[in-house]
Structure 1
């Protein structure tokens, strides 16, 4: 950022064409698109940028015949992608919008690649929640399980940005570089506190608190970076820094007003770090692990509401209960406290989380026998990255209950013994006949009969070695042609747009890996284009 700009934003009010609130995946895409259409763009971010995108797995859900699918020798079509997503997305968006999302999928992935995001067509050889560093294309949803495989030819559509570990940082770094190479200015450590409007209700800009002192900026940066890292691994420690961060913002923040000639785009994430909003809208998920930053506190949604914007699907949260890898664990049986089986254990972790959320107290347990545990241990080194290995080692050592027979295990776990016995007798009988009534592939269906037996607590609550990451999916309602925020009556609020998890979008009903970032690209570009073209 030029020195003249730094001095200007610290000392006086500013006027630009488009203001983007939030510099994560959606905000960066919106800013790039608006700048490419000739707009003078300012992005403001409470922290250093990146949001949930930078700490994600960096997966983009794309299909219809991408260059990387072709490189891996995988056939796919827009129709197959659409048929699959119809079952996942439901009525979260209109049929026309979903069709457009799928039709634009190849072009949006190419757009990311043109902006420096690296991808590769190395296909993971097995179903997994996240591939190892040898693979960057995989089946990231429930495509291969019924009823999805019956509705659409399965294809791998999880395109992971190429980078070791969780590669969201690679994806965002490329987008941030692409944004700052254009007519995009980024004001970090700037918190938007309100929207400005004219007499007709048009949104005309934002009011902010910007940290300008050197001491304040250094302290704020150190605390926010530490907070983000602690939140990923142990939220109680991260929570200790929430208050100091807010106090720094209050003490060192300086009022700054920015006028937006064409529009304001809200791309400030969801509300997963706002426990009060979770308790109000999605109480079963209060005990999960928040994925994102403390900026995902619903502030972007509340800004939209302050201008008259409506919200929808605020009850929808994606909680991820992954116990694969190691792959052998999908051969277990997932049950509730009554001993009833919940679903196909090969489903994607967020779909499994949805089933668990429907249970009494959101409690569930994966039941395995010694054969499964031995196989899973042998797969650990070759199928997992460090964070998956850490989780599995926790489950294999102290994170389970063990018993010599099923009735004893049920009693120790708090499961109804008679119910669990009926479920396993039925499952074992089906396994011997070579079928599974919930559609699990025969390759992963075998009788559970070799004791001792083990129970892994898969309830929707955070355990120190077995977190349950989650993101919120609902947000502001928007016009699906432009991304303009809409009122309860469906009318658009002039000058105000929303994208990413601040808005209702393609993944607001059901989530599979990569669908949120893909929607950030789709909705971010849509809002950026509309705002740049507004008069």
Structure 2
């Protein structure tokens, strides 16, 4: 057996995604010697993401786009979405520090731009980098707070999470942080006083490390769309890990867990969120819950593991917002202008995973016309698939029978909606008037937006729960609510801002918020005790 190597640092960070990178930057800025380790090559789900950071209150990008916003309006809206995931005090701190957060990211090389998307979409095209990324303008929310676009997409073509992470990774290395890739944390070491003081690891070197890096890189992005391929490549990565050598990293001040969620752990998904197993795991094979389990091994307590976000977007094209989202009985599921994760949650938890979008001839024609101008490649493929496979019929009842939807209930739903639309009355489901129009031009189509395993129209899912943490410091808490000495958590390894419900950009924003918090306070812990 290989002899165990040792390293020493003030702060050891497990996981090199957005949360881990932000924690490293703050700890290094405070003067700490920092080591970041990652089982793969770094980036994790952050690098695979759309690179959207939820921010508001009057950011430079909002002002450049002529958008008026305030921390108070941002708080009022997010309070409805966040609910009790964090306290009001923490949410206010998040909102009040939002503009500074974007400035901080920009100072570390993350590019943003105030080009406002003029239509409602799940993700803007390469021409726009500021958009309504949640339900701010949906019915029921406009009365709570003045709506404002707060989705700040990192400027870069395609899904730009890689641009965001690459900028942070470069900043981390400029800060003198030691980054160990192909290094897997296997155990937390606790000293005689009960403080987490070291991390036991397994590290690949040489040829095995290079092959592991290549295999894991290939598995990440294609594997997101072809999970079977990801699992096959991951098995190869696991076989290479048998060649790893033992390494202990001593943490003189603290350990920070920033290792992602558990969406790739089938057993944990089966136990905590069985209804969401039909979704496409949105993450890497590293999102296996290992960080959460490490925290549990030394007394940390997880929470909200049943909270999962399922994305069932009906836009783009934006014309589809005027359709009617219905269940198998033919009843409306809700305001179609709501954020896609709100639809996904309702479809999975209240409607047995089955849902259809009813459109007429005019909406279908407009949607096809908008395909090229409003979509990026993966959105275009999915929209074209939905339109091509839709059930059609010359009457509402005929299309309902072909799709397997209750004809009588669907007809009643359409009649109620159309009567209100023609009379200029409020929409029965609360949809804003901007998107309401009669659905009465045959032929009709029912687009199947059910949540089920599908390669052509997958429903991405990500886990939102994690370890309980002190909201002021990010320190992991035990079952009594006391802090676990020397241990912090951030990102999707921790309960945070988005742990009840998700809107685009809120997870990355929480990674920045909670990562920076953990980085700052991990350095303070022993310093305060010594003073």
Q: Which TM-score band applies after superposition, normalised by the shorter structure?
A: over 0.9
Report whether the alignment pairs 1:55 with 2:21: no
Contact 2:230 2:285 in 1 (8 A): no
Q: What is the Cα deviation at residue 402 of structure 1?
A: 2.1
- 1:168-193 alpha-carbon deviations (Å, 9 max, x no partner): 11111110000001131100001111
TM-score by length of 1: 0.96
Deviation at 1:276, TM superposition (A): 1.3
The 10-residue stretch of structure 1 (280-289 or 221-230) with the greater mean CA deviation from structure 2: 221-230
**Mapped contact 2:43–2:165 kept (Cα < 8 A):** yes
What is residue 400 of structure 1 aligned with on the other side? 390
Determine the structure 2 residue equivalent to 1:152: 145
Aligned to 2:317: 326
Match of 1:353 in 2: 344
**Separation in structure 2 between the aligned mates of residue 462 and residue 137 of structure 1, nearest angstrom:** 31
The residue that corresponds to 1:495 in the other structure is 486
| Cα distance in 2 for residues equivalent to 1:30 and 1:10 | 31
How far, CA to CA, are the matches of 1:139 and 1:361 in structure 2?
Answer: 28
Task: Give SS of 1:241's match.
Answer: helix
> Partner residue of 1:116?
109
* Number of aligned residues: 524
Alignment counterpart, residue 222 of structure 2, candidates 224, 230, 234: 230
Q: What is the CA deviation profile of residues 265-304 of structure 1, one whole-angstrom value per residue up to 9, with x for unaligned ones?
A: 0000001111211111111110101111100011110111
Residue 456 of structure 1 corresponds to which residue in structure 2?
447
Runs of 4+ in 1 over 4 A off after TM superposition: none
1:216 alignment partner in structure 2 = 208
Cα distance between partner residues in 1 of 2:215 and 2:138: 44
Structure 2 residue corresponding to 1:166, chosen from 153, 159, 163: 159
Structure 1: where are the runs of 5+ without partners? 1-8
Question: What SS does the aligned partner of 1:257 have?
Answer: strand
Quote the offset at 1:404 in angstroms: 2.7
* 2:301 pairs with one of 293, 300, 310: 310
**Corresponding position: 1:431 with 2:421:** yes
Q: Within 2, Cα distance between the matches of 1:531 and 1:155?
A: 35
In structure 1, what is the equivalent of residue 185 of structure 2? 192
Separation in 2 of the partners of 1:183 and 1:265?
A: 18
Task: Give the CA deviation at 1:409.
Answer: 2.3
Distance 1:393 1:311 in 2: 41
Q: Provide the residue aligned with 2:477 in structure 1.
A: 486
Q: Which residue of 2 aligns with 1:335?
A: 326
The offset of 1:218, in angstroms, is 2.2
Q: Which is further off, 109-118 or 458-467?
A: 458-467
> What is the distance in 1 between the residues matched to 2:124 and 2:232?
33
SS at match of 2:143: helix
Q: TM-score, normalised by structure 2?
A: 0.97
Q: Is the contact made by 2:4 and 2:245 (CA closer than 8 Å) also made in structure 1?
A: no
Shift of 1:10: 9.7
RMSD: 1.4
1:380-391 correspondence to structure 2 within 5 Å: 380-391=371-382
Distance 1:317 1:460 in 2: 13
Aligned position for 2:253: 262
Q: 5+ residue gaps in structure 2?
A: 527-531
User: Structure 2: how far apart are the matches of 1:101 and 1:444?
Assistant: 32
When structure 1 is superposed on structure 2, of 282-291 and 238-247 the one drifting more is 238-247
